[in-house]
Structure 1
Amino acid sequence: MMRAYRLAFERQHPGIRLEIVAKSTAELLREVEQRPAGKRPDVVWASSIEAFVLLARKGLLQPAPELRNPQVPAKVGPHALNDASGRYFGQSLSGYGIMWNSDYLRQRQIREPQEWQDLAQPAYAGHVVLSAPSRSGTTHLMVESMLQGLGWEQGWALLLQLAGNAAEISPDSYAVPRGIARGSYGAGLVIDAFGLAAKYSGMPVDFAYATMAPVLPASIGLVAGAHNPDGAKRFMAFTLSPPGQQLLLDPRINRLPVLPAAVLHMPAGYPDPYLQAQRSRLQFDVELSSTRYQLVSRLFDLVVTEPLVELQAATRAIHAADRALRSRSSRQGAALLASARKVAYTPVLPAMEASSRQWLAAAGAPADAQWERLQAIWSETARNNYRRARQLAEQALAQAQAAP
């Protein structure tokens, strides 16, 4: 995608050389924040809408309302496509869901998933892959979709069950679709562009939009204190123009344009993002997501990424006890299994405390002493919970095996 845009833009503007540097969302934020004015990148371009909200809140984006393309609709579903002050603009649209390898699942007789909850089922134990929100802005958005769609407590319960089924927490979001396409994993959480690109290139994969997920703009914005703002504006205008939007439909890219189908040459059967946005059951709160961005990302690492081995072991033990109790009834075993699930899948940070302004602020200041203490407590609590849950599940299994 980046190469296609660079070549097309430089053909149209032969006097300008374009350099594109790929970074994760967290790295992108640090890059813009830490560089002094005049030495910052000219443009930020990313799928994470929260990144633009955070940069705008810190005054790191320069308004350029004249770049808005009037052919672009004002909204996709309930969400505005452009910043009201012209600090950033929707350049493409992104939906979120599940990608799976059809051959992999068929060989193992696993039903194809359609919703996040499917990946938490016992059949998917060891077959799921996802990235960490601290490494991927799109993964953060999917994590937030579950937290907002189900509420903090139930959202974390689903996330912990799903992650307990994971074969791996991938170091970056790009490795998730690559691993699924190669058949290393059965299914995973991906942005639609990854799933569609693999599917339409002929790989044995498919993709389904989760109904508990929004359709949001992948945006582009002019950095305040940019080194070359004039060149940046020309590039941004190109990406929002019909030729720039048409590039998104290249079979090797397969992204969803913000310009409506009537303006472009859309492939037959291509997803309509505006229709998909109407199907979404989630009213995604971008402000809430951006406010607790650092907290959610770090908490995920503390309770999932770092103690993954313990979480996997607890989840396997819970699945084993569940299978045994389905064939041999035991009231005491059932009570032990319920306790194991509660211990393993109850978030270490209650909803009321997660909304504390003091903790939200501390999460954005890693050197804060209180924040360091909290992280240590959450990490230790999570590991102890998973060990205790495993013990309870093993006791439940023993009760089932001893039942007549």
Structure 2
Amino acid sequence: MTLRGFFAGSALALASFGTAAADNLTLYCAAEEAWCQQIKTDFEAKTGITVDMTRKSSGETYAQVRAEASNPKGDVWWGGTGDPHLQAAEEDLTEAYESPNRGELQDWAIKQAAAADNKTIGVYSGALGFGYNKDLLAQNSLPEPKCWADLTKPEYKGHIQMANPNSSGTAYTMLATMVQLMGEDKGFEYLKALHKNINQYTKSGSAPIKAAGLGETTIGIVFMHDAVAQSAAGFPIVTICPCEGTGFEIGSMSLIKGARNPEAARQFYDWALTAEMQSKAKDAKSFQLPSNKNAAVSGLTPDLSTIKLIDYDFEKYGSSDERKRLLKKWDEEVSTLPQ
């Protein structure tokens, strides 16, 4: 599945928000903390439903949903990369649902739902890349990295951070991107070479670029919108779209199977697909591309139609067996190597 051609510029009526059967909702949010808090506050104000929100990375959220399968504590899993959402759907951890607001969504959001028999759906998208601290780059007399290949050069040793793909959807997207971009053998050779230059594998996908913004590392491998967010906050970060091409995410949303508050969960799901809700992402300094065609988009949001995107195979790399296999291989062949 590809996003190419889907980003060039009916709305359904906003779903009714009457009195919910339940007064509470437990939300697992895998986006940035500020955005998660905004979503919680806005939904509470819209509906009067009290939201208990927990923010974790995509991989951590998947692990929690899986661990709680026999006694689910969450109602909705919102955000984070789509691969673990697809894995959860395959493992029957989430519920099928077709919102009346589907007609407002981009084709790629609906294709994500189709790949999971409607057990998940796309809520935003963003391309993988990296960013660097231009002050640190100058202080260390380092050349500007422009390509994935540049990051394996010896002069960048100790200057790069990325997340651990076991906990981070961003880093798993990086792993799956290299395999698809280069082929599995060459992709893993690349990851081994990159490993020599990594100073830390973080738990959260956006942590590397935040560290770069604070001057704690020079380069962070992240989704490009996270690098843009650091620049928008005033940090000396330059965002790079790798010259070879890159992968992308379809940030997704799923209803947790066996949820305690299913009616409130569906209310949230419908609301989360509206242009009204998605237009507010920019207010939280989140610069992903929204899935609702009518949502307002920040001028700082990377234009995915201009980026060389690979034909990322979400069904394959979001499958349970493939994710487990690649993560095991990374654990055994990459993470254990000396640096």
Q: Which residue of 2 aligns with 1:35?
A: 68
- Give the counterpart of 1:283 among 311, 315, 337: 311
Looking at structure 2, the residues matched to 51 and 110 of structure 1 have their Cα atoms a distance apart, in angstroms, of 36
Question: How far is the alpha carbon of 1:52 from its aligned partner?
Answer: 1.6
Question: How far is the alpha carbon of 1:305 from its aligned partner?
Answer: 2.8
Cα shift readout 1:326-352 (whole Å, capped 9, x = no counterpart): xxxxxxxxxxxxxxxxxxxxxxxxxxx
1:64 pairs with 2:92: no
Whether the aligned pair in 2 keeps the contact of 1:37 and 1:226 (CA below 8 Å) is no
- Give the counterpart of 2:148 among 92, 99, 116: 116
Looking at structure 2, the residues matched to 46 and 143 of structure 1 have their Cα atoms a distance apart, in angstroms, of 19
- Give the counterpart of 1:177 among 209, 224, 227: 209
Q: Percent identity?
A: 23
Q: Which residue of 2 aligns with 1:255?
A: 288
User: Structure 2: which 5+ runs fail to align?
Assistant: 1-34
Equivalent residue runs for 1:230-269 within 5 Å? 230-250=263-283, 252-260=285-293, 263-268=294-299
Query: Measured at CA, do residues 242 and 172 of structure 1 come closer, stay the same or move farther in structure 2, by a change above 3 Å?
Result: closer
Looking at structure 1, the residues matched to 298 and 99 of structure 2 have their Cα atoms a distance apart, in angstroms, of 30
TM-score of the two chains, using structure 2 as the length reference: 0.82
Q: Which residue of 1 aligns with 2:18?
A: none
Q: Which residue of 2 aligns with 1:293?
A: 323
Greater relative contact order structure (CA < 8 Å, 6+ sep) = 2
What SS class does the counterpart of residue 47 from structure 1 fall into?
Answer: coil
What SS class does the counterpart of residue 119 from structure 1 fall into?
Answer: helix
1:305 pairs with 2:335: yes
Looking at structure 1, the residues matched to 114 and 64 of structure 2 have their Cα atoms a distance apart, in angstroms, of 22
1:136 pairs with 2:168: yes
> What is the RMSD of the two structures over their aligned residues, measured on CA atoms?
2.1
In structure 2, give the amino acid aligned to 1:123. Answer: E
What SS class does the counterpart of residue 292 from structure 1 fall into?
Answer: helix
In structure 2, give the amino acid aligned to 1:285. Answer: D
Cα shift readout 1:306-342 (whole Å, capped 9, x = no counterpart): 43xx2x2xxxxxxxxxxxxxxxxxxxxxxxxxxxxxx
What SS class does the counterpart of residue 18 from structure 1 fall into?
Answer: strand
Question: How far is the alpha carbon of 1:136 from its aligned partner?
Answer: 0.8
Query: Measured at CA, do residues 55 and 159 of structure 1 come closer, stay the same or move farther in structure 2, by a change above 3 Å?
Result: same
Looking at structure 2, the residues matched to 60 and 269 of structure 1 have their Cα atoms a distance apart, in angstroms, of 35
Q: Which residue of 1 aligns with 2:136?
A: 104
Cα shift readout 1:89-147 (whole Å, capped 9, x = no counterpart): 11111211111111111222222222211101122122111121112121011111001
What SS class does the counterpart of residue 87 from structure 1 fall into?
Answer: coil
Equivalent residue runs for 1:3-402 within 5 Å? 3-14=37-48, 16-36=49-69, 39-75=72-108, 80-83=111-114, 85-210=117-242, 211-250=244-283, 252-260=285-293, 263-268=294-299, 270-273=301-304, 275-276=305-306, 279-280=308-309, 282-289=310-317, 290=319, 291-307=321-337, 310=338, 312=339
User: Structure 1: which 5+ runs fail to align?
Assistant: 313-404
Cα shift readout 1:173-195 (whole Å, capped 9, x = no counterpart): 24312211111111121022321
Q: Name whichever of 40-49 and 158-167 sits farther off.
A: 40-49
Looking at structure 1, the residues matched to 56 and 100 of structure 2 have their Cα atoms a distance apart, in angstroms, of 25
TM-score of the two chains, using structure 1 as the length reference: 0.69
What SS class does the counterpart of residue 298 from structure 2 fall into?
Answer: coil
Whether the aligned pair in 2 keeps the contact of 1:248 and 1:256 (CA below 8 Å) is no
Whether the aligned pair in 2 keeps the contact of 1:69 and 1:241 (CA below 8 Å) is no
Q: Which residue of 1 aligns with 2:10?
A: none
Query: Measured at CA, do residues 95 and 67 of structure 1 come closer, stay the same or move farther in structure 2, by a change above 3 Å?
Result: farther
Q: Name whichever of 143-152 and 293-302 sits farther off.
A: 293-302
Whether the aligned pair in 2 keeps the contact of 1:132 and 1:301 (CA below 8 Å) is no
| Larger strand fraction of residues | 2
Question: How far is the alpha carbon of 1:26 from its aligned partner?
Answer: 3.3
Cα shift readout 1:334-376 (whole Å, capped 9, x = no counterpart): xxxxxxxxxxxxxxxxxxxxxxxxxxxxxxxxxxxxxxxxxxx
Looking at structure 2, the residues matched to 157 and 150 of structure 1 have their Cα atoms a distance apart, in angstroms, of 10
Whether the aligned pair in 1 keeps the contact of 2:290 and 2:297 (CA below 8 Å) is no
Whether the aligned pair in 1 keeps the contact of 2:124 and 2:288 (CA below 8 Å) is yes
Question: How far is the alpha carbon of 1:298 from its aligned partner?
Answer: 2.7
Question: How far is the alpha carbon of 1:7 from its aligned partner?
Answer: 0.8
| Larger helix fraction of residues | 1
Whether the aligned pair in 1 keeps the contact of 2:106 and 2:292 (CA below 8 Å) is yes
What SS class does the counterpart of residue 65 from structure 1 fall into?
Answer: coil
Question: How far is the alpha carbon of 1:68 from its aligned partner?
Answer: 4.2
Whether the aligned pair in 2 keeps the contact of 1:74 and 1:82 (CA below 8 Å) is no
Whether the aligned pair in 1 keeps the contact of 2:65 and 2:72 (CA below 8 Å) is no
Question: How far is the alpha carbon of 1:269 from its aligned partner?
Answer: 5.1
Whether the aligned pair in 2 keeps the contact of 1:181 and 1:203 (CA below 8 Å) is yes
Whether the aligned pair in 2 keeps the contact of 1:128 and 1:187 (CA below 8 Å) is yes
Cα shift readout 1:252-291 (whole Å, capped 9, x = no counterpart): 222321123xx23333354223x146x31x2222233233
Number of equivalent positions: 301
Whether the aligned pair in 1 keeps the contact of 2:121 and 2:254 (CA below 8 Å) is yes
Query: Measured at CA, do residues 38 and 130 of structure 1 come closer, stay the same or move farther in structure 2, by a change above 3 Å?
Result: closer
